[in-house]
């Protein structure tokens, strides 16, 4: 899927999230609402990981990042299904 990347050999792993939001089993827009409510609880430049399995979240969270001027760091498949969508707080 577009937007997903696999780490290159020797590439550093993604930064450990300062906060993980478990939105597994919840339909959009709930993962985005949870992210919007909690992103200000982490320090600037910290990463928030949104765990989601609703296919809409796969595209909606990165779109929310563009609209709100936060950085979509990357999206990683979860072994149990779904994704960990990493967002860096910019302000």
- Residue 45 sits in a domain whose CATH number is 3.30.110.40
Distances (CA, A) of 40 to 17, 21, 48, 70, 79: 14, 13, 10, 11, 28
Is residue 77 included in any domain, yes or no? yes
Q: How many domains does the chain have?
A: 1
The answer to the question of residue 14 being in a domain is no
pTM of the predicted model as reported, rounded to 2 decimal places: 0.86
Asked whether residue 51 is domain-assigned, the answer is yes
Partnered with residue 50 across adjacent β-strands are: 21, 85
- 28 an active-site residue? yes
Closest residue by Cα to residue 57 from 21, 88, 91, 90? 21
pLDDT at 35: 98
In which domain, by residue range, is 27 found? 19-88
Write down the H helix ranges in 6-53. 30-38
Cα separation, 83 vs 54, whole angstroms: 9
Residue ranges, the chain, pLDDT below 50 = 7
In a domain, 5, yes or no: no
Which of 21, 28, 50, 87 is the catalytic position?
28
Would you state the pLDDT for residue 74? 97
């Amino acid at each position: 899927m577009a937007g997903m990347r696999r780490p290159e050999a020797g590439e550093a792993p993604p930064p450990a999230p300062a906060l993980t939001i478990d939105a597994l089993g919840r339909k959009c827009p709930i993962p985005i609402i949870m992210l919007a409510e909690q992103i200000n609880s982490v320090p600037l430049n910290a990463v928030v990981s949104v765990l989601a399995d609703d296919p809409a979240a796969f595209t909606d969270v990165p779109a929310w990042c563009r609209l709100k001027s936060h950085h979509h760091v990357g999206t990683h498949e979860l072994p149990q299904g779904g994704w960990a969508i990493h967002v860096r707080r910019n302000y």
